[in-house]
Homo-oligomer: A and B are copies of this chain.
Amino acid sequence: MKLFLRRLSSLRSTIMPFKQPNRLRKEHAHDLIQNVDNFLFDCDGVIWNWPKPIEGAVEFINKLKALNKKCFFITNNSTKTREMVMELLVKIGILNVTLDDIVCTSWILARYLESINFKDKVYAIGSPAIATELDRANIEHIGIGPNHHEIPDPAKFDYASLVKLDPKVKCVVVGFDHYFNYPKMVVATSYAHKNEDCLFIATNDDAQFPTGTSNIIIPGTGSFVNAMKTAIARNPIILGKPHRTMWEVLEKVHNLKAERSCMVGDRLDTDIAMAANCSLGYSLAVLSGVSDEDLILKYAKSLELGDKNHEEAKCVPDYYAENLGSFEKFIREI
Considering only CB atoms and an 8 Å cut-off, how many residues of chain A contact the other chain? 43
Q: A188: shortest Cβ distance to chain B, in Å?
A: 9
Name 14 interchain pairs, CB-CB below 8 A, sorted by A. Answer: A154-B178, A155-B178, A159-B216, A178-B182, A180-B182, A186-B217, A189-B217, A194-B217, A207-B231, A219-B227, A219-B230, A222-B230, A223-B231, A226-B229
Q: Whole-angstrom distance between the alpha carbons of A155 and B218 in the complex?
A: 12
Q: Whole-angstrom distance between the alpha carbons of A216 and B163 in the complex?
A: 7
- CB of A211 within 8 A of chain B? yes
- CB of A70 within 8 A of chain B? no
For residue A227, which residues in chain B have a CB less than 8 angstroms away from its CB?
Answer: 219, 223-224, 226-227
Measured CB to CB, the nearest residue on chain B to A157 is: B178
Within 8 A of B (CB), among A66-120: none
For residue A231, which residues in chain B have a CB less than 8 angstroms away from its CB?
Answer: 207-208, 217, 219-220, 222-223
Q: A65: shortest Cβ distance to chain B, in Å?
A: 32
Q: A156: shortest Cβ distance to chain B, in Å?
A: 8
8 interchain residue pairs of minimum CB distance: A219-B231, A227-B227, A155-B178, A181-B181, A223-B231, A154-B178, A160-B214, A226-B226
For residue A18, which residues in chain B have a CB less than 8 angstroms away from its CB?
Answer: none
- CB of A305 within 8 A of chain B? no
- Pick the residue among B153, B178, B218 that contacts A160 (CB under 8 A): B218
Q: A153: shortest Cβ distance to chain B, in Å?
A: 7
B159 touches A153 (CB 8 A): no
B222 touches A186 (CB 8 A): no
- CB of A228 within 8 A of chain B? yes
B222 touches A193 (CB 8 A): no
Measured CB to CB, the nearest residue on chain B to A219 is: B231
- CB of A177 within 8 A of chain B? yes
